Structure 1
């Protein structure tokens, strides 16, 4: 049985690392990717790097130039929409299940309070950390490990953050989710999470439009 387990191909792992670097803007738009440097950085040969770059080119994240250079592109709108469509499908269900299964509200309330402090102080790193903790607590409370793992993969694979000028809305949106969970109202929690994720998506798409001007 153990011998039948298939390890993720190297090109897939390289593509995952490059995708994450592009989406977090560790490699911002306009960055030229050199196969030899990427291979050295990740400790792999150039072949899987070449294949990974071709994969990301098909996703619209990288442009292949005639001189064989690879240039990082702005994240396509379709990529962002597809990502949030999946999150909405899964995370709204997680929020609804959390209402039914949650047994201790204190961890959620504590993280929610810390998130408010972070938003008010404008500390972006703290905002991002407490935001992730907030969502992860809901995934845990949903009581489905497969659902949690899928959401974690989405979160880690596409770390697209909201523009800083939209952060003030974050806590208000979390407020509505917390209220629904405290009331153990699955439909309200589902609706509040959907509105939260849709607003996040729209804020990011609006930033894309601004950056294209």
Structure 2
């Protein structure tokens, strides 16, 4: 377990949510590595809390697919498998293609301007080179597209996948060689949306997701 693992107290959140957010971020950042055991007593001591919020957080992380319960061993950080990657990205690909199609048709001028602004923030994050910042600005860019669909049910479905998508998004962004390609993919999507070219936007989005799957799958194989 990383020595940097610290709980950030928030007076507006219950302790169980603070602990959950702390452990979740530690997993997403790799401070708690795939396959690492999550010992309630050690985590409680490290974070300065009782075992109860730790237990509740682990249970919630299991529901999100970030933690795996292993018989006779207990909880451990779930490894990223090719199957779990494929399962999530197959669903994401379909939802993203639908989202970009609807956004092309429904986004108003202000929403397109907002997408351009988020792309500029993403570009700045890529230049700064911080993986978490890149992942967050990438997510913010896509959020503008989701909102632009004006379809609450679609947004809800995408949000249900958000945590799992974030992990793969961060894994993709860790590959520094792919960051300029990511930037170009965003530019292509933005250009198609600005020109209201639905088919081009869908093709650009599909390529965006396909490249993520190819890169993360390659990284998984190299780590085995």
TM-score greater than 0.5 by the shorter chain? yes
Structure-to-structure mapping, 1:17-166, within 5 angstroms: 22=27, 25-35=30-40, 40=50, 43=53, 62=68, 64=70, 66=72, 68-104=73-109, 105-160=112-167, 161=170, 162=172, 163-165=174-176, 166=178
Aligned to 2:195: 183
SS in 2 for 1:29: coil
1:42–1:83: structure 2 CA closer, same or farther, 3 Å change rule? farther
Is the Cα–Cα contact under 8 Å of residues 97 and 142 in structure 1 kept in the other structure?
yes
TM-score for the superposition, normalised by structure 1: 0.75
1:141-162 deviation per Cα after TM superposition (whole angstroms, max 9, x unaligned): 1110111121122113442211
Task: Indicate if the aligned counterparts of 1:16 and 1:157 stay in contact, CA closer than 8 A.
Answer: no
Q: Using a 3 Å threshold, how does the CA distance of structure 1 residues 43 and 167 change in structure 2: closer, same or farther?
A: same
Q: How many residues align?
A: 194
Unaligned runs of 5+ in 1: 1-14
Q: Measured at CA, do residues 134 and 51 of structure 1 come closer, stay the same or move farther in structure 2, by a change above 3 Å? A: closer
- 1:54–1:177 Cα change, 3 Å: closer
Using the size of structure 2 for normalisation, the TM-score is: 0.72
Partner of 2:79, secondary structure, is coil
8 A Cα contact 2:58 2:67, kept in partner: no
Higher relative contact order (CA 8 A, sep 6+): 1
Deviation by residue 1:159-208 (Cα, 9 ceiling, x = unmatched): 22113322221110101101110110111111111110111121111111
Matched, 1:169 2:181: yes
- CA drift at 1:126: 2.7
1:207 is matched with which residue?
A: 219
Give distance in 2, aligned partners of 1:52 and 1:186.
38
Structure 1 counterpart SS, 2:166: coil
Q: Could you tell me whether the CA contact under 8 Å between 2:135 and 2:166 is conserved in 1?
A: no
